[in-house]
Structure 1
Amino acid sequence: MRSFTAMVGALVLAAAAFADDIVTMPTANQLKAREVDVAAYYLDLKMPSGAPQFVHYQTLYLGLTDRVELDFHRADVNRDAESVVTVLSLKLAAEGPQTPDVVVGVRNIFGEPTTLHPDFRSRTKRTSVYASAAKTYFLREGVQGPPLARVHLGVGTEDWTLLNEKRHEGPFGGVQMLIVPTVGAVVQWDGQDWITALTYMPPRSGITIKGGTYGDHRWYGVALRKQL
């Protein structure tokens, strides 16, 4: 029990690294009660001339209880629509020494259309559901802290809310790593694209600076997490 308590303490210290670094893929990372995470992203799109060239994306995550989280994802797509997608998630099981965190969720609860394109507008209004599990592994024997890895595996129904592309249908997942207390790395597959990231967390700031690749595109972001 002492070992697991130490592990929980290490995870609390690493919470910023295990925030939702990539907003397009659901994970079992869940805020605690009264925790707030706010973030802003810029997606630099590699698209044909005439298509959207960038996306301004903001997120607000609210820990309503230790098991219930409410999220808002606002996207302002160049040459396309501005929208807000609402996500509600519920933690079914907390991580233990041998068991993972397990979370279920619903994306786009209110059926918000996220594009003006007539061929895709009705698809983007669809509500999707998912289940995701995550387990943390320490990579140095006997050391309850970095370097560590958090392995994600999820399954869901189709989600068309970003760039008119189908994501999260069937299996998806990835790995988040905390290399040292201030630096992390991410590799994920969301069912459509491979996603990578590097993260940096200035000590005792609650801030995470991050960026990486998203399929053929690049993205950059900054997040702030606080306990109310």
Structure 2
Amino acid sequence: MTRVFLVAIGALFLGAAAIADDIVTMPTANQLKALEVDIAAYYLDLSMPSGAPQFVYYQTLYVGLTDRIELDIHRAKVNRDEDSVVLVGSIKLVNEGPDTPDVVIGLRNITGSATTLAPKLRSKTERRSVYIAAAKTFFMNPEKPGPPLVRLHAGLGTEDWTLLNEGRHKGLFGGLQFLFHPVVGAVVENDGRDWITGLTIMPLNSGVTLKGGTYGDHRWYGVAYRKQF
């Protein structure tokens, strides 16, 4: 019973943590509760050749429909390319327990929307991507739940071309999410193509998260707000 209680308390801490990996839309087993909403806006500063896109304005809306079902909307306004909206749905199969991870299955680009004007890549971006993701939280002091803690992510999926016209999430992907302090978090992960890093600052009791980091050769910055209705 004590171990179950500690895991539950840890989940509360992590629920308040900034999920930096959301910026790159790498699937994880982080799932919102019923009537929980997360809205965010990002700027991606791209390191690409002259003539290619130089930046992306990216917005996300995550909605917990139930404790097990989540619907996400991703909107991208890409410099010198098409504006697009991608829908993502996910279902939690297993809740994290003392000996079990959170497990989620999901589908990216539900509507099969194209996300580029490039003729040779347009059909690839219309593909739907299926994934399964798991996550497990570990505390530095197992007898004292809460920060510092680390959350291990691992996933398996089919290829997704909806971001920057590059294939991601094919096969294995994953990483580590850290909460050093209730206000400070970080992430290091690989989406099957690029290494991603992020630092998050979360003013206490605000629901606001400030985020920033690297994404392959690119940089990203963002702000998010989360609320439970």
Query: Is 1:12 matched up with 2:18?
Result: no
TM-score with structure 1 length normalisation? 0.97
Q: Is 1:18–1:176's contact at 8 Å kept on the other side of the alignment?
A: no
Q: Is 1:46–1:53's contact at 8 Å kept on the other side of the alignment?
A: yes
Q: Is 1:21–1:210's contact at 8 Å kept on the other side of the alignment?
A: no
Query: Is 1:202 matched up with 2:203?
Result: yes
Distance apart, 1:173 and its partner CA = 0.2
How far apart in 2 are the matches of 1:166 and 1:77?
A: 17
Distance apart, 1:12 and its partner CA = 1.3
How far apart in 1 are the matches of 2:99 and 2:134?
A: 13
Give the match for residue 100 of structure 1.
101
Give the match for residue 30 of structure 1.
31
Higher helix share: 2
Q: Is 1:14–1:181's contact at 8 Å kept on the other side of the alignment?
A: no
CA-to-partner distance for each residue in 1:113-151, whole Å, 9 max, x for gaps? Answer: 000001100100000100000000001342211110000
Q: Is 2:54–2:79's contact at 8 Å kept on the other side of the alignment?
A: yes
How far apart in 2 are the matches of 1:92 and 1:121?
A: 33
Matched position secondary structure for 2:24: coil
Query: Is 1:127 matched up with 2:128?
Result: yes
Identity %: 67
Distance apart, 1:18 and its partner CA = 4.9
Give the match for residue 53 of structure 1.
54
Matched position secondary structure for 2:44: strand
Residue identity in the other structure for 1:27: T
CA-to-partner distance for each residue in 1:188-228, whole Å, 9 max, x for gaps? Answer: 10001000000010000011110000000000001100011
How far apart in 2 are the matches of 1:205 and 1:118?
A: 44
Distance apart, 1:81 and its partner CA = 0.6
Query: Is 1:227 matched up with 2:228?
Result: yes
TM-score with structure 2 length normalisation? 0.97
* C-alpha RMSD of matched pairs (Å): 1.1
Distance apart, 1:22 and its partner CA = 3.2
How far apart in 2 are the matches of 1:184 and 1:13?
A: 11
Distance apart, 1:3 and its partner CA = 3.5
Gaps of 5+ in 1: none
Matched position secondary structure for 2:143: coil
Query: Is 1:176 matched up with 2:177?
Result: yes
Matched position secondary structure for 1:161: coil
Q: Is 1:16–1:207's contact at 8 Å kept on the other side of the alignment?
A: no
How far apart in 2 are the matches of 1:203 and 1:18?
A: 12
Q: Is 1:63–1:69's contact at 8 Å kept on the other side of the alignment?
A: yes
Q: How many residues align?
A: 228
How far apart in 2 are the matches of 1:102 and 1:18?
A: 19
Distance apart, 1:17 and its partner CA = 1.9
Gaps of 5+ in 2: none
